[in-house]
Amino acid sequence: METTFSPVLTVCGIDELPGQSSRKVTHVLSIVDPELPELEAFGSYGAHHRTTLRFHDIIAAAPNQVMPRPDHVEAILRFGTDFLAREDKQASSHVLVHCHMGVSRSTAAMLTLMAQANPDEPGESLFARLAAIRPQAWPNSQMIGFADEQLGRGSDLTTALRRHYGRQIRNRPEFTEWMTTLGRQAELKMAVLD
């Protein structure tokens, strides 16, 4: 039986948060830059559980930047464990994961949560489901590597990520320029182009 983690899964960027306020979000994972002030958008949301992580969307050390670390992925997995252990599992739920743009950190986090809830589902299948949730997904490779290790999946997620990058480059050629501009050439080199 396929577990979807939650009946409703959303990945978005900060600019999209106001549009989610009426969608009965029950759990939020916010991944934002350390210097970003508290987001006002959540004031218009109903009651929800929220976890905030603060680190930059980078894949190599940079001055005055906070790299994604293993403990950040541990916190994502704790969020997932807490969600899966909630008392009223039959109550409707809507999990929203966001970062600045809804492209890299948040999609890596959502993939991690889906892999945690579905330990036997192949990485390829998980990435296909992620792409259905957020077509522009370009998950942060550092975060996926930590998730692979912490979930004991060998290199299944990283191998599937490489193919996902290849599909994104083929289907969205603008990713090549965008990731180059962001200094993410290492991820472009990871891509498996079928």
pLDDT band at 87 (very low <50, low <70, confident <90, very high): confident
Q: Which domain holds residue 16?
A: 8-190
Q: What is the pLDDT of residues 169-186, one digit of tens each?
A: 999 999 999 999 999 999
For residue 151, being part of any structural domain is answered with yes
Q: Is the pLDDT of residue 132 over 50?
A: yes
pLDDT band at 13 (very low <50, low <70, confident <90, very high): very high
Residue 98, strand partner residues: 12, 30
For residue 1, being part of any structural domain is answered with no
Q: What is the pLDDT of residue 4?
A: 60
Q: Is the dihedral of CA 87, 89, 93, 98 positive or negative?
A: positive
For residue 156, being part of any structural domain is answered with yes
Q: What is the pLDDT of residue 88?
A: 83
Q: Is the pLDDT of residue 25 over 60?
A: yes
Instruction: Please give the average per-residue pLDDT across 58-69, as a whole number.
Output: 97
Instruction: Please give the average per-residue pLDDT across 61-69, as a whole number.
Output: 97
For residue 2, being part of any structural domain is answered with no
Q: For residue 114, give every residue at least 6 positions away whose Cβ sits within 8 Å of its Cβ, in sequence order, or none.
A: 4, 5, 9, 121, 126, 129, 130
Instruction: Please give the average per-residue pLDDT across 56-63, as a whole number.
Output: 96
What's phi and psi for 42, nearest 5 deg? -75, -10
Q: What is the pLDDT of residue 1?
A: 33
| Tokens describing residue 107 | 């999609």
Instruction: Please give the average per-residue pLDDT across 54-58, as a whole number.
Output: 98
Instruction: Please give the average per-residue pLDDT across 40-61, as a whole number.
Output: 96
Q: Please state, rounded to an integer, the average pLDDT across all residues of the chain.
A: 95
Number of domains in the chain: 1
* Verdict on whether the full-model pTM lies above 0.85: yes
Query: The domain that contains 183 carries what CATH number?
Result: 3.90.190.10
For residue 3, being part of any structural domain is answered with no
For residue 85, being part of any structural domain is answered with yes
